[in-house]
Structure 1
Amino acid sequence: MTYTIGRLSKLTGMPVKTIRFYSDSGVLPERERTASGYRIYGDEDRARLELIRTLREIGVDLATIRSLGERRLRSVLDLHLKAVETQLRSLQRTRAVLKATLGKEGDPAEDDLRRLHALSRVGGAEMGLLLDEFVDEVGGGIEARHEWLANMRDCMLPELPEEPTTAQLDAWMELADLLADEDYRESLRSQSKDFWEADIDLESWQETNTKVMREGLAAARAGVEPGSAESAVVVERILTAMGQTREEMLRVFDEHDPRAARLWELVAIIQKTPWPADQTIAYTWIEAALRKLEG
C-alpha cells in the first residue's frame, strides 16, 4: 500500500505539518515522490510514524530516533513493542506506588511523595545511563579498571519489579543516589589507583580473587573460628595466593569504602536475592581472621 501525506495523516492521526517536518529532518526518510513532486509513503512509514510518536512520548530525542536508520518493518515493530512494554512497566510501577500510598489513612507522607518523585526521575533507562556514567568516571582513564567495571555493569543494574515493595523502591532511590555520589566515585578512584595502574593481568587477577573468595567462604561455612590455629593456616594460603603480607592485606581492608558493600546489598534488595552474598561472607571472614591474628 502507498499513501499520500494527507492519507497518512488521517491513518495516524498525526498532522500533515508534523509528518512533513519529520520527513524534512530525516527522522522519516523520504522514499519516493510522484511525477508532480508529492511525497508517497508506505506501510513501513506508517509503522515508523507510530514508533516515532511512542519514542517521543517517552522522551527520546529526534537525533537518537534519526540514528535508528533504515530498518525492515518487522524490526521497526519489534522496537515499537519494546518501547510500549517499557511504558507499561513504568506505568505499572507508578500504579503500585499510588495504590500503596492511597491505601493508607490520611494524606500521603513525605516519604510517599519522595518515592513517586523517584519513579518519575529515575526509571530503568535513567538508571542505565547513570551506571554508564559511573563506570566511565570511576574507570578514570585506566583501561584495566574500566574494563573490569564494564564487565560488572550488568550485575550492578537490577530490574525494578513491576509492582515493587516499599523496601525495593527505597533501595532503588538509594542506589541511584549512591551511583551519582561524587564523593563515592572519587573514593573508588583514589583507593584503587595504585592497584590498577600496575601492570596486572586482569584474567589472572580474577582467577586469584575467585580462589581467595572460595577459601574464605569454605572457612566461614565450616565454622572456622577467626584467630584460631586452623584460621591461620587458611589465611596463609590466601596471602600466598594474593602475594601479600598480613599488613598489606589489612591496609586494603582499612582503606575499603563500606559504601561498596552497601551498593551490592541494595542490588540484592531490589532483586530479592539472598544477602549477604557469598563474596561478602568470604571477605568478612578473611578480615575478621586477619584482625584476630594480628591483634
Structure 2
Amino acid sequence: MSYTIGQLARLSGLPVKTIRFYSDIGVLPERGRTRSGYRLYNDEDRGRLELVRALREIGVDLATIRSLGDRDLGEVLSLHLRTVEAQIRSLQRTRAVLRATLERDEVSDDDLRRLNALGRLGAAETAALVNEFVDEVSGENPARQKWLAGLRPAMVPDLPDDPGIEQLDAWLELTELLSDDDFRASLREMGGEFWEKAGELDPTTWHEANTLIVERALAAVRDGVAPESEAAAPVVAGILALMADAQGRTPESVVRDYTEHDPRAERYWELVSVVNGTPWPPESVIAHDWIAVALARHLG
C-alpha cells in the first residue's frame, strides 16, 4: 500500500516536516512520487519510520541510523550502548568533582581546572593522545614500538565510576604528562643504547635475567642491606655484571641508564596505580630503586 507524506504523518504521529527532513538526508528514502509531485511511501517505510523514531528516542544519531541499510540492527544498538556507557562514566566523573567541590566552603581554581579538563578529555581524545605519545616516543625503533604497544592498554586506566579527588587529580596529571613534549623527548632518549640492541636480545634469556636481578635486589632489601652501605657493593656489582651480560653491553653504559633515568617515568606509573587503586610501589620498582641508589654510591 502506498502512502503520501501527509498520510504517513497521520499514521506515525510525526510532523510532515520531520518526515520530509528524514527523506532529504536519506534516513527514509522516498519510493517515488505522484504525478503531482507528492512523495510516496509504503508499509516498509512506515515500519522503518517507527524504528527511526524509537532509535532517536534513545539517542542514536541520524548518521548511524542512515547507515542501517548496511549494518545489522544489533550492531548499531551495541555501538550505541557503548556510547551511552561512556557518557555515563563521564557524567559520573563530573558528578564526583561537583560533589567534592560543593562540600568545601569555596570553589578553587583547581576545582574549575578539573571540570574543564574532564569536559575536553573524553575517551576518544584520550585515546588519540596516547596514540600520539606512543608514536613519538617509539620513534623508528621496532623493539621500542613493540614494547610500548604492549604497555598501551595500561597507560591511561579507566577511572572508577565514582572516583575520588585524588584519583581525578592523578588521571589529569597523567594526561598532562602524555602531552608534555619535554617528557616525550626524555623518554625517547632514555636507554638509547639498550634499545639499539634490544631487537637482538633473546626475550626468554632477558626475562630470566631480569627476574634474577629483581630477586637479588629484593633479597638485599629484605635482609636490611642499605644501598649506600659497604655490604651493598658486592651485591650491586654482581647485578651490574648480570645486566651487562644479558644485554650485551658494557657495565658503564648500563650505569648510565640509571643515572640518566627521568623520575617522571616512575611518577607516571605511580599515578596509574593511584587511579587503579592498587598498592604502590610494586616489588620491581622497589628493586630498581635500590639498584639505582647502590650504583650511584658504589659504581657511579
Q: TM-score, normalised by structure 1?
A: 0.78
**Does 1:270 pair with 2:272?**
no
**Does 1:130 pair with 2:129?**
yes
Distance 1:11 1:235, change over 3 A: farther
**Does 1:255 pair with 2:254?**
no
Amino acid at match of 1:15: T
Deviations 1:3-31 (A, max 9, x none): 998659857999335533542xxxx596x
Cα deviation for residue 147 of structure 1 reads 1.5
**Does 1:158 pair with 2:150?**
no
Measure, in 2, the Cα distance between the counterparts of 1:101 and 1:266: 22
Match of 2:103 in 1: 103
Match of 1:177 in 2: 176
**Structure 1 range deviating more: 263-272 or 215-224:** 215-224
Distance 1:201 1:232, change over 3 A: closer
Distance 1:167 1:50, change over 3 A: same
Deviations 1:34-92 (A, max 9, x none): 68774636389638953995458xxxxx6x99899833222211111111111111111
Distance 1:69 1:170, change over 3 A: farther
Decide which of 46, 52, 59 is 1:46's aligned counterpart: 52
- Amino-acid identity (%): 45
Match of 1:288 in 2: 293
Match of 2:89 in 1: 89
Amino acid at match of 1:282: A
Q: Is the 8 A contact 1:131 1:153 kept in 2?
A: yes
The two structures, once aligned, show a CA RMSD in angstroms of 3.7
Match of 1:59 in 2: none
Deviations 1:176-210 (A, max 9, x none): 11101111111222334443344424735752444
Match of 2:18 in 1: 15
Pairing 1:21-36 to 2, within 5 Å after superposition: 22-23=25-26, 33=31
Measure, in 2, the Cα distance between the counterparts of 1:171 and 1:206: 32
Match of 2:220 in 1: 219
Which structure has the larger Rg? 2
Consecutive unaligned residues in structure 1, runs of 5 or more: 57-61
**Aligned length, in residue pairs:** 282
Match of 2:144 in 1: 145
Measure, in 2, the Cα distance between the counterparts of 1:216 and 1:122: 40
Amino acid at match of 2:86: T
